[in-house]
Amino acid sequence: MSESIEKFEGFKPTAERAHNGIALIYDLEGFSRFFNQPDIHEYIPKYLNHVIGAVENAIYGGVNDFIDETDHKILPFLPEHRKFMGDGSLYVWVQKDIENIFTQKFIGNLCNRLWNIKKAFGKLNTRITSDVPVFELPQKIRFGIARGTIYELTTDKGDKEYIGFCINLASRLQSYCPSLGFIASARINLENSSLQKNGYVKVVAKKIKGFPKEIVIVDKTEYLGLAPDLKKDLFEEINPIT
């Protein structure tokens, strides 16, 4: 006889006070098509383990040998929360004391490591085919990052969930312009010197549902490579970008 699932008893009546937080969401483009192939149940766990392993090497420290990068150190501040979401995952960092843990080095390293995975995702898929002999693998990974107020909800058993506008925004950003695949809200406060050093620029995303006129950070070369009509439809430039 199977064990019964315990009924959800609800969260405590009061959420923990608001904290400054960063939310990261990634999504695998084409996962539904991949999922609907014959006998895919034999390969889905292997595929997801490869992808999650690569992302968490970037976050928790480790070597992604399909990427040419030299810094594999653990980020100075690890996520408070992570949640698998089927075709992607959510990671939440929470600042719970006065000290500003979201330093320029932390934010810059996080963005660069994730962008490197996005850029080299085809190489990761090539590695994966040795374990997953399936032709139609998800072809892209998309990242959205945002910063803002986070609230922690807890149950009497100690289970935790997080809510906040930055989680919603990160979700919108990862799907906003699939041709880019990496979009961060300018609210992460990456300084102009860091933007220039790492090849990012700020533009205005003007059609994010629920977040009109959101200033975002994108890779300059990829942004300039967008089709003119797509660029005009989705973005406005704060200053001319050449």
Domain annotation covers residue 6 = no
* Domain annotation covers residue 12: no
Question: 223 pLDDT band (50/70/90 cuts)?
Answer: very high
Higher-confidence position of 101 and 179 = 179
**Does 1 have pLDDT greater than 50?**
no
Is 226 domain-assigned? Answer: yes
Q: Is residue 131 part of a domain?
A: yes
**Is it the case that residue 213 has pLDDT exceeding 60?**
yes
How far apart, in whole angstroms, are the C-alpha atoms of residue 126 and residue 209?
35
Tell me the CATH number at 67.
Answer: 3.30.70.1230
Report the candidate in 25, 35, 26 with the shortest Cα–Cα distance to residue 137. 35
Domain count within the chain: 1
pLDDT tens by residue, 20-58 = 999 999 999 876 676 666 676 777 888 888 899 999 999
pLDDT for the residue 72: 65
> Would you say residue 183 lies in a domain?
yes
Q: What is the DSSP string of 51-93?
A: HHHHHHHHHH----TTS--S--PPPSS--SEEEE-SSEEEEEE
% of the chain surpassing 70 pLDDT: 91
In a domain, 242, yes or no: no
Radius of gyration of the chain (CA): 19
Measured in whole angstroms, how far is the alpha carbon of residue 148 from the centre of its chain? 15
pLDDT at 136: 77
Domain contains 3: no
- Looking at per-residue pLDDT, the higher value among 34 and 122 belongs to 122
For residue 87, pLDDT over 90 is answered with no
The pLDDT mean for the chain works out to: 88
Domain extent for 208: 19-237
For the whole model, what pTM was predicted? 0.90
Give me the mean pLDDT over the 59-88 stretch: 83
Q: Is residue 200 part of a domain?
A: yes
Average pLDDT of the segment spanning 110-136 = 87
Contacts of 20 (CB under 8 A, 6+ apart): 94, 95, 102, 147, 148, 149, 150
Give the alpha-carbon dihedral of 109, 110, 113, 118, to 10 degrees: -140
Residue 140 has pLDDT above 70, yes or no: yes
What percent of the chain is helix, strand and coil (3-state, nearest 5)? 35, 25, 40
Which residues pair with residue 145 across a beta bridge?
Answer: 24, 184
